[in-house]
Structure 1
Amino acid sequence: MNYRLNSAQPYALGLFRIVTGLLFTCHGVSKLFGVLGGETTDPISWPGGIASLIELVCGVLVMIGLGTRAASFLASGSMAYAYFSVHQSMGLWPIENSGESAAMYCWAFLLLTFTGSGAFGLDRLIGRGDSTAAADKSDRTEADLTPA
């Protein structure tokens, strides 16, 4: 059973990345364009407008799997900032300060920062994904991998 689950891991990670990126993109679209039940925000206002631009751009990049690690890192930091600057002042726990989505996005994007895009990402098609890094690592000797 573990073998089957492990062999499906890149695909599950790819689907997780796509769904998370899509949902994050929807947040940016709703704030920037006033659709999907959102109110428009000036894109150059601080912090709401800049956050909505980050949500839109990083959400699309994560969704398509292009520059996933960098986009996820920026999105994770954005959500950490949102949690601590907006939600934390209303209560200690995310359930009492309405910060669940900011906290979940922060941790989800941090996970993608460390795992990469998984399957179905453009990173893999252009040769910048985890598959090339694994191939490069397999060509190294043990001395090359030992920290100095």
Structure 2
Amino acid sequence: MKSDQIRGPVLSLFRMVTGLLFVCHGAATIFGVLGGNRGTGHAVAFGTWPGWWAAAIQLVFGTLVLAGLLTRVSALLCSGSMAYAYFTVHAPQGLFPIRNGGEAAAMFCWSFFLIAVFGPGAWALDTLIHRLRHHEVETYAPAPAQA
């Protein structure tokens, strides 16, 4: 199997897994499920800065990335939120992620950046919408005028 044939599906799987993991972080923080906020089993209070807002981004835009809808913009926002988290929460405790506890933030940041650059892959709502629109244009394009 050629690498071109598996590129789209593999990129889609990478996007879906990354999005799902991000959604789980958001749900844990906002709803106190899956171990809750940082393993406490408790939700963060509504509107708390920056925790609740970061979790809202994780939940909403992680879901969009998971579905492959508005993927590039959503992934860029997710990437930026993780860069913000890394530099405001983790980096002041030391530069290297292994020492400051910022491995997840760094990995999410770069993973979402990769998705923003390379797109959603073959199995995405964005791809389906593009195919439908492209097909509609081909199907319903007016015939060229004959002279």
Q: TM-score, normalised to structure 2's length?
A: 0.83
Paired-residue identity, %: 52
Query: Are 1:113 and 2:116 counterparts?
Result: yes
For residues 62-81 of structure 1, what are the structure 2 equivalents within 5 Å?
A: 62-81=65-84
Structure 1 unaligned runs (5+)? 133-148
Runs ≥4 residues deviating over 3 A: none
Which amino acid in the other structure matches residue 103 of structure 1? A
For residues 1-148 of structure 1, what are the structure 2 equivalents within 5 Å?
A: 4-38=2-36, 39-127=42-130
How has the CA–CA distance of structure 1 residues 91 and 52 changed in structure 2, closer, same or farther, with 3 Å as cutoff?
A: same
Query: How many residues were matched structurally?
Result: 129
Q: How far off its partner does 1:125 sit?
A: 1.4
How has the CA–CA distance of structure 1 residues 5 and 58 changed in structure 2, closer, same or farther, with 3 Å as cutoff?
A: same
Note if contact 1:43-1:53 (Cα within 8 Å) is conserved in structure 2.
no
CA deviation string 1:129-148 (max 9, x = no partner): 9xx6xxxxxxxxxxxxxxxx
| SS of the residue 2:45 aligns to | coil
CA deviation string 1:109-142 (max 9, x = no partner): 001111110011000111289xx6xxxxxxxxxx
* Distance of 1:34 and 1:87 partners within structure 2: 22
Q: TM-score, normalised to structure 1's length?
A: 0.83
Q: Which has the larger radius of gyration?
A: 2
CA deviation string 1:11-38 (max 9, x = no partner): 1000000000000000000000001001
Q: How far off its partner does 1:6 sit?
A: 2.3
* Distance of 2:96 and 2:112 partners within structure 1: 20
Structure 2 unaligned runs (5+)? 37-41, 135-147
Note if contact 1:43-1:52 (Cα within 8 Å) is conserved in structure 2.
no
Superposed CA RMSD in Å reads 1.8
